Structures are given as structure tokens and as C-alpha cells.
């Protein structure tokens, strides 16, 4: 039986040059700091990552990068867990302006929060979340100094709608953020991830910023 993928798309225009926009968006492990539904992105190596997100329910998956073209496109497909694939296209629309188009396709799991939920409105709510998060990303870039390629240079870390701000990130994600000054000064946030294990942001860092693959910085 052929798989039926739910298709979602969102777009935003960012007032910044394409190289800056591409560089900041491809910094995957910072997604939980400006996205509301992404709870964790941790790297296994420079091509493979592990994700935890609220997409038609709480789900995890491993993903592999594919079809990356510098300053033009990034893509991925899952190798285990929630079946999904997608791409992000970057198009310069002016000297200091870039259009970002995100395309996400996933195979809804069976059950009320899966196939049925997708038809009853879960997909529409997810697409609205995706659009809101893209708008947050645009604000993040526009807040950063011109030409900056370091996500920590903006104030997006404390965006009230992000998973990190709401304490919804997983223990592993918290460990990657534990050495960041903008976050370490805050009170540890107790989080119960989808495995039911509790964790706090005061755990020792396992993955520091200098461990991040060069192409994602």
C-alpha cells in the first residue's frame, strides 16, 4: 500500500542577505530556541541528527542531510522514527532580502492524533505553528548584527513561544545549551520528555558549540 504523506509549506521574507539567512537557519540544534514544536535537535555526526518534536503528537526520529547547496537549499529525510522528509529553499529577492520557503512532508501515524487528526485539523494547526516559527526566525535574524553568523548574537533565546522558553526541551537538548551564558543564568527548568524521564538545564554539557559541524555554524 502506497504511503500518503501530509504536505505542509510556510514562507517568510527576511531582511538580511542570503548567506546570513542560510547560515543561521542551518544551525539545526538552535531550532528549539525559536521554534515552538521542536524540543530537541542533537547531532550524531555532520550528516546525521536526532529530533524530538510535537508533530501530530510527540515523536522522535533520526534524520540524514541530503541535497544541501550552500546559500540555496538544505534538505533531509528520516532514517528511523516518524517518517518524514523536506527541504528549505533560500532565494535572494534583493541585496539584503531573502525569501525562505519550508516544505515538510510526513506520514501521519495511525490513530486519532495521526491520520484522523491530520484530517480533523491537526495539520492546519501544525502549519500555523510552522508559519509563526518562521516569523520568529525572521525576527531573530533581523535582531542580530548585520552579517552575524552566530545565533547567540540575537535575543531570540528568550522568545516566549519557543520550546526552550517554555521549558519543553528534552534533557539532551538542555545539555547542549547548559554552557550558553544567556541560558545558564536562568533558573533550571524541570522538563518531562516523551520518555517520561525528568531532567534540568543544570546538567553538565555533553555537546558544546565547538563540537558543532562547521557547515552548521
Concatenate the DSSP letters of all residues of 95-134 into one string. Answer: TTEEEEEEEEEE-PPSSTTTHHHIIIIIHHHHHHHHHHHH
List the one residue out of 9, 26, 36, 54 whose CA is nearest residue 133.
36
Q: Looking at the domain assignment, is residue 209 inside a domain?
A: no
CB 74 within 8 Å of CB 87: yes
Quote the pLDDT of residue 199. Answer: 34
Q: What is the pLDDT along the chain (217 residues), one digit of tens a residue?
A: 457 788 889 999 999 999 999 999 998 888 998 899 899 999 999 899 999 998 767 889 999 999 999 999 999 999 999 999 999 999 999 889 999 999 999 887 654 344 444 443 455 688 888 999 999 999 889 888 888 887 777 766 657 888 988 889 999 998 888 766 555 444 433 333 333 333 333 333 323 333 444 444 3
The reported pTM is 0.75
Q: Looking at the domain assignment, is residue 30 inside a domain?
A: yes
Quote the pLDDT of residue 155. Answer: 67
Q: Looking at the domain assignment, is residue 89 inside a domain?
A: yes
How many domains would you assign to the chain? 1
Domain containing 119 equals: 6-153
List the one residue out of 6, 19, 4, 207 whose CA is nearest residue 120.
6
CATH code, domain carrying 15: 3.30.530.20
List the one residue out of 61, 58, 85, 90 whose CA is nearest residue 73.
90
Quote the pLDDT of residue 98. Answer: 97
Q: Looking at the domain assignment, is residue 171 inside a domain?
A: no
Quote the pLDDT of residue 11. Answer: 97
Q: Looking at the domain assignment, is residue 203 inside a domain?
A: no
Quote the pLDDT of residue 216. Answer: 44
Residue entry with cell 537549499: 73
Q: Looking at the domain assignment, is residue 88 inside a domain?
A: yes
Q: Looking at the domain assignment, is residue 214 inside a domain?
A: no
Q: Looking at the domain assignment, is residue 70 inside a domain?
A: yes
Amino acid at each position: 500500500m502506497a504511503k500518503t504523506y501530509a504536505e505542509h509549506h510556510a514562507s517568510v521574507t527576511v531582511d538580511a542577505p542570503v548567506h546570513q539567512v542560510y547560515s543561521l537557519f542551518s544551525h539545526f540544534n538552535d531550532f528549539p530556541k525559536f521554534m515552538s514544536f521542536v524540543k530537541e535537535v542533537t547531532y550524531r555526526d555532520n550528516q546525521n541528527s536526532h529530533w524530538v518534536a510535537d508533530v501530530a503528537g510527540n515523536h522522535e526520529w533520526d534524520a540524514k542531510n541530503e541535497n544541501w547547496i550552500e546559500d540555496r537549499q538544505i534538505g533531509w529525510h528520516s532514517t528511523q522514527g516518524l517518517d518524514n522528509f523536506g527541504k528549505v529553499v533560500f532565494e535572494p529577492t534583493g541585496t539584503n532580502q531573502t525569501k525562505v520557503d519550508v516544505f515538510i512532508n510526513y506520514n501521519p501515524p495511525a490513530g486519532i492524533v495521526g491520520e484522523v487528526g491530520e484530517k480533523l485539523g491537526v495539520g492546519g494547526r501544525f502549519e500555523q505553528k510552522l508559519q509563526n516559527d518562521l516569523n520568529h526566525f525572521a525576527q531573530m535574524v533581523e535582531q542580530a548584527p548585520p552579517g552575524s553568523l552566530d545565533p547567540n548574537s540575537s535575543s531570540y533565546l528568550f522568545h516566549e513561544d519557543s520550546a526552550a522558553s517554555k521549558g519543553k526541551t528534552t534533557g539532551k537538548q538542555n545539555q547542549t545549551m547548559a554552557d550558553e551564558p544567556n541560558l545558564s543564568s536562568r533558573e533550571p527548568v524541570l522538563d518531562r520528555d516523551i520518555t517520561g524521564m525528568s531532567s534540568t538545564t543544570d546538567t553538565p554539557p555533553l555537546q558544546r558549540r565547538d563540537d558543532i559541524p562547521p557547515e552548521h555554524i
